[in-house]
Structure 1
């Protein structure tokens, strides 16, 4: 029940000055306010006229309550300052429960399709970044101009050989492509390089993971963790990559990202051909810490490792 105070001093001219229409009475305004309050309460599912007719107009959220009631008329008792509803019982709404479950299934299915499309689009982004950088390395001309070494009369002012000049052209073209992608996508250049490296690792060494990622069957976090683990396997060890690809793909399709990260690490340890002692010794040699003196008796510490270099 909603109580609405009457306004005794509200002006009620016979006609409105803006359009000449009759000004509504106090009773009409209170009736409109009561209906608006009831519609905003969410107790009844209102039809817009566009949807198909339903056998039961009650909201699915109320489908399990019995018996259900809907308002019939709104009236004000004589001399009362409030409005009261007259209620009618509704037939058993058990048939609407199936409709509510079906609507939930449809929404969840739509959500799954949206997520899969987003994951496919992310995989396409990785694929395109890698393709652009590979094309720049294969043909630097669109990025750095024509190759001067093809001219027989050419000589380098810095004394470089033709092979060195071509290598510099490839490096400059890749850097230009990375910078262009970073500007267009509003990313850092390191992020662009990292995504290209992850895409190359999966595309070359883990085709099953790469295909599943391209189909949108798992998230970007799955793909990044898989690529980071696979990149630490011995280069050229086809058997280790094959075993990692086979086992990690099955886990990526079944586990959420956090649990998959743990599983991928365990798979990497299992398929790695080298002993843990050899890997530990090499990892210690590849890491380094540099200290630089700062003001006020402070130091700046910089740490480097192969894994942090590829962090997204």
Structure 2
């Protein structure tokens, strides 16, 4: 309700300029309400929901970034609904798809382990069918003259089974994140801690047989881990670095102040960090077992 300003003895102005001003004020308020996109609400009333406005056409995926509003494509005036296709899709010549991108589980792990046996999968099985597995399957299919779909269909699976053996427990769940490198020839005789910088793995070997393996990391470019053939000259179960005041449990020293030891930082941060030159081991249980077996004088080989 529009209230008029009281004048004189409390009477509203009559006619003339007063009436014209009142009409003009009402018009301005009405125009303001329209341009603001809302309607004046009476005191205590509940706003009503806006009536949706139908939009013709079908939303597409080319909305402008940040607007949140899809564009629309108006239907053609002459378009007629097409009849549904009654023809079935052609059968896959390679058979039913057993596994594909996004799949996970034991069968995927077996697929990866079998592909790894014949050189088509270059890392430890994960049990997840991702881009690396797709590329590995495509590689295998291309070598066998199959369609490079990247999907493990029945024909691909049968060919793979015929070329590989059933994976062992160690092949399905390797001890290290990355495949253990082929041991350096210096590791093939005697009792050796064989350490590969390339595969970032350590293998405990006796007369050429790998008894255990584990993930390791090395020093940074400013404090590199030395390469070469060494021997364990000191073992310290509860060692603490005198230079950095940091714990070095299960330390086995092989070159100056450099040692193989457990690193809680490696266990927590992975390869995001580096040592001051030592060989850090991620798994405390494995390094504890290794520490118990290694003797003073055992050989240590560090290679690229």
- Specify the structure having the higher radius of gyration (Cα): 2
Determine which structure has the larger helix proportion and give its number: 1
Same-fold call, TM > 0.5?
no
TM-score, normalisation: structure 2: 0.23
TM-score, normalisation: structure 1: 0.22
